[in-house]
């Protein structure tokens, strides 16, 4: 009889444990917002020299530019790798706009052209545009002669153009925390979330060495139970590639969205990405920090938030 009672007791305890486990893990098991869409670039045959004829920068602008570049190098401890300063010259705004591929009414301040090994600045460049130069200089510093920063080639395709822009911008604005981010807003936020998850050091090492392997391993290990490797357009993609490809898809949809529908498509990609980075953060115990970062991002894009599921993501994690 006593044995029976003990068995009953054990069964009740077991049931309680099972219920507890289900409640603890069952909060959100499956991705809700996953979008299986990606974008990549064709690998250019060669990065052509621009052929532009720049002018010397006026002395005061040159000094300002060198000062800003040195500040970036010092902040990231780059001196050790003995990267020289790039050629920094001046271009008229019409030529700068042509190089950047932007319209006449866009303000332009600078661009880095890898094949020229040069950064070109507008004559209107001033201290107020320091983040623009810092951003371009980071592209220069992270270029290993083949790829720049966290761009990478796979199966004859080039991945990570906007992923890399986001990371570059994130690293830029760490030096200018009070400045308002004026481009690649979501890509930069995603980079911040990634930095929270993997740590600044891992992210910087990957970026300056143009080496995605550690990030790839962390992401694949943590997220393979939620997302499966896929074969899209005949390319074998692991989870890391899928996420990078989604960032590209988001950026391209946004850049070419001329109507409400494609804008909303871009926002779906954004929801998908945010949920993914929250799954990563949860596996590493970074949810609280990520929520703070997300709240701050939602504050910046307040008017867009009702069209996203960011509030839901914030509450569910």
- Binding pattern to Zn ion, positions 152-191, x when CB under 5 A? -------------x--------------------------
In the complex, residue closest to Zn ion by CB: 165
E strands present in 192-278: 230-232, 235-237
Nearer Cβ to Zn ion (39/140) = 140
Length of the chain, in residues: 317
Shortest Cβ 168–Zn ion spacing (Å): 5
Shortest Cβ 252–Zn ion spacing (Å): 15
Query: What is the spatial distance between Cα 112 and Cα 12, in angstroms, rounded to a whole number?
Result: 67
Q: Residue 309: name the closest of 184, 298, 300, 299 by CA.
A: 298
Strands 118-122 and 110-113 come out as antiparallel
Burial group, residue 33, by CB count within 10 angstroms (0-12, 13-18, 19+): middle
- Binding pattern to Zn ion, positions 115-154, x when CB under 5 A? ----------------------------------------
Shortest Cβ 98–Zn ion spacing (Å): 17
Query: What is the spatial distance between Cα 21 and Cα 15, in angstroms, rounded to a whole number?
Result: 10
Cβ 164 vs Cβ 249: under 8 Å: no
Sign of CA dihedral 193, 194, 200, 203: negative
Nearer Cβ to Zn ion (165/241) = 165
Shortest Cβ 264–Zn ion spacing (Å): 26
Shortest Cβ 111–Zn ion spacing (Å): 9
Beta bridge partners of 154: 157
Nearer Cβ to Zn ion (189/268) = 189
Shortest Cβ 15–Zn ion spacing (Å): 57
Nearer Cβ to Zn ion (165/249) = 165
Nearer Cβ to Zn ion (207/279) = 207
Q: By the criterion CB under 5 A, which residues form the site for Zn ion? A: 165
């Amino acid at each position: 009889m006593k044995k029976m009672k003990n068995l009953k007791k054990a069964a009740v305890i077991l049931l309680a444990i099972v219920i507890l486990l289900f409640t603890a893990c069952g909060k959100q098991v499956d991705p809700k917002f996953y979008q299986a869409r990606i974008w990549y670039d064709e690998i250019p045959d060669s990065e052509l020299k621009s052929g532009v004829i720049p002018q010397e920068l006026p002395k005061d602008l040159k000094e300002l530019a060198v000062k800003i570049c040195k500040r970036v190098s010092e902040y990231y401890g780059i001196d050790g790798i003995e990267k020289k300063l790039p050629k920094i010259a001046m271009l008229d705004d019409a030529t700068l706009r042509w190089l950047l591929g932007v319209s006449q009414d866009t303000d332009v301040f600078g661009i880095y052209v890898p094949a020229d090994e040069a950064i070109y600045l507008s004559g209107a460049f001033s201290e107020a545009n320091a983040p623009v130069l810092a951003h371009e200089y980071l592209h220069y510093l992270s270029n290993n002669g083949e790829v720049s920063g966290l761009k990478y080639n796979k199966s004859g395709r080039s991945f990570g153009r906007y992923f890399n822009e986001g990371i570059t911008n994130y690293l830029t604005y760490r030096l200018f925390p009070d400045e308002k981010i004026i481009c690649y807003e979501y890509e930069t936020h995603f980079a911040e979330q990634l930095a929270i998850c993997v740590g600044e050091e891992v992210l910087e090492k990957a970026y300056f060495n143009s080496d995605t392997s550690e990030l790839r391993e962390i992401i694949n290990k943590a997220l393979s139970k939620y997302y499966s490797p896929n074969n899209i357009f005949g390319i074998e993609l692991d989870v890391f590639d899928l996420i990078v490809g989604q960032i590209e898809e988001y950026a391209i949809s946004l850049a070419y969205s001329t109507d409400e529908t494609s804008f909303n498509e871009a926002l779906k990609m954004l929801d998908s990405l945010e949920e993914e980075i929250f799954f990563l953060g949860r596996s590493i115990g970074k949810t609280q920090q990520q929520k703070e970062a997300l709240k701050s991002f939602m504050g910046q894009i307040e008017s867009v938030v009702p069209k996203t599921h960011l509030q839901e993501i914030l509450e569910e994690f």
